[in-house]
Amino acid sequence: MNFDPHAFKECFPLFAQPENRDLVYLDNAATTQKPEVVIGAIGDFYRHCNANTHRSSHRLARRATEMVERVRRQSAAFLNAASAREMIFCRGATEALNLLAYSLCSELRRGDEIVISTAEHHANIVPWQMMAQRHGLMLRYVPHVAGVPQFGRLDEVLNERTRIVSLAGGSNALGLRPDLADIGRQLRGHNLRWIVDGAQLAAHETVDVRAIGCDFFVCSAHKFYGPSGIGLLYGRESLLRNLPPWQGGGEMIARVDLYASEYAAPPHRFEAGTSPLAAIAGLGAALEFLTACDRAAIATHEQSLLSELHRDVAALAGLRLLSQPRDNLGIVAFALEQGSPTDLMHWLDEKEIAVRVGHHCAQPLIRAAGETVTLRASLAGYNTREDIEALLNALRDYQSFSGSAVDTPTLSLAGDWDGDDLSGLPVEQLAAQRSWQDRYREVMRWGRAIGRKPAIRRPENLVRGCESDAWLVHRQRGGRHYFALDSDSRIVKGLGALLLSQVDGHSAAEIRARDLAGLFAELGLEKHLSESRSNGFYALLQQVLEYAGRAGSA
């Protein structure tokens, strides 16, 4: 069966909105868009059967309860669990992993060991760290090379004290997809509990927990076209029966006395409080939606785009690929050899291309790869070849622009600093740009006027509130104020150049008299720049005013 991504995309109303007609959405590893049936199911719950479950026999409560248990059965079928009793609703994979860490580790002995990998999301590292500190447990890591786990060597860290192995079914940072069958073979015969973090896996392939052989599996609905705030925890029923709960409250109890309580049977034992009922309804719609899709055809389409994107990004100078197309769940991760990744992300954002920049809650892996941040493009079934070409064209355009002129060289002398010559940056030149895109390019060009100043990159000069690190220094001579700025981000440098061109060499009274915030708005920067970038300008402005005011009152 042929898969048509354009027809698939029509199921998602966000892309039909006028403001999103040109959107290229490549941030699917963070969250996927929602089909109309999911959005409709959430609204239908509130319109037709909004009531709490289990606690009342009235008609609305019965309908809500029936819906929840129906979706529980759907979830069991989605993961091929043996019984709906093995499915626990939680807020997402993070909550599920915290639940498992708390409940499983409470029964371990001091010196017992937990095995994880360097490729884990923070949600599959931090809970185990917390429990290890609390219970005197030992964390061990799968052997790795430059941060990339060598899962074929897992047995090197297994011993008689290993009690828990918790590994991602796919890396959200690099897309790494381990061979779960091979991991299962290595774990066979060991007295331990095996957890698979399937937050990335469930979106891209059919999951069969019984074929995998894991004891627990977690995933989040918002990663596979479902609503946010709801996820699934699968656990073998025989294990769940003996697992202590981690939260107390309504729903999870059978009987409460003044000094002791009797807990309900699984799965309700682990669902304290009021469940996110509308989100569960949306989850049910997402599961129906996926079940009706040809998931193998979607996966083939995604892998075709993934190979194409890796090939073409690798051919671009100035970029360093960190991901590989083989055994990859749909992620292309790369870094800039020079310049600020944040600047490139903003450049793409201005061209209506949504990617993500950062450490992706996988700091150990990114650091081991020799980076602190990467850019990540992540795919879903509604992405098209036109999306890929738009991203590649934008990357080429950025390279052409950023390489078309040389930045001002370093101006610092040892232990001192000099300002920058901003006389060639008249505001009229910026205001004369006809379109916002041209004005944005001009701000980026202005950033070249700000030279590198290693001597001012000190903690006391760091400006709080800028999206990228920025350092600002000040001195006063003859009643006039002089400033110097440095940043790794060209857009921050450009905004700083705009600000300093209006205040450098002026008196405190002149600086206070200028409506700099009004100028920022008049140029359309406040309207078009994101809130975080606007906040960066205002943070610099506030620091300039504080310097001038402090010096003026001295």
Catalytic residues, by residue number, are 361
β-pair type (231-235, 253-256): unpaired
Q: Which residues of 446-471 are buried (b: 16+ CB within 10 A; e: fewer)?
A: bbbbbbbbebbbeeebebeebbbebb
> d(Cα 121, Cα 144) in Å, to the nearest integer?
16
SS3 23: coil
Q: What burial class does residue 345 get, using C-beta atoms within 10 Å of its C-beta: 0-12 exposed, 13-18 middle, 19+ buried?
A: buried
Tokens of 24: 């290229």
Tokens of 307: 């190979």
Tokens of 532: 């975080």
Tokens of 301: 């389409």
For residue 14, give the DSSP letter.
G
Expressed in angstroms, the distance from the first to the final Cα of the chain is 77
What are the two backbone dihedrals, phi and then psi, of residue 226, each rounded to the nearest 5 degrees?
-95, 180
Q: Cα Rg for the chain, rounded, in angstroms?
A: 27
Beta carbons of 230 and 221 less than 8 angstroms apart? yes
List the one residue out of 91, 127, 88 whose CA is nearest residue 241: 88
Q: 């980076």: which residue's tokens?
A: 371
DSSP assignment of 408-462: PPP--BTTB------TT--HHHHHT-SSHHHHHHHHHHHGGGS---GGG-SGGGB
β-pair type (113-116, 374-378): unpaired
Strand partners, 473: 484
How many contiguous H segments (helices) and E segments (strands) does the chain have?
20, 19
Sequence-distant (≥ 6) Cβ neighbours of residue 524 within 8 angstroms: 436, 439
> d(Cα 76, Cα 208) in Å, to the nearest integer?
10
Tokens of 541: 């402005």
Strand partners, 470: 487
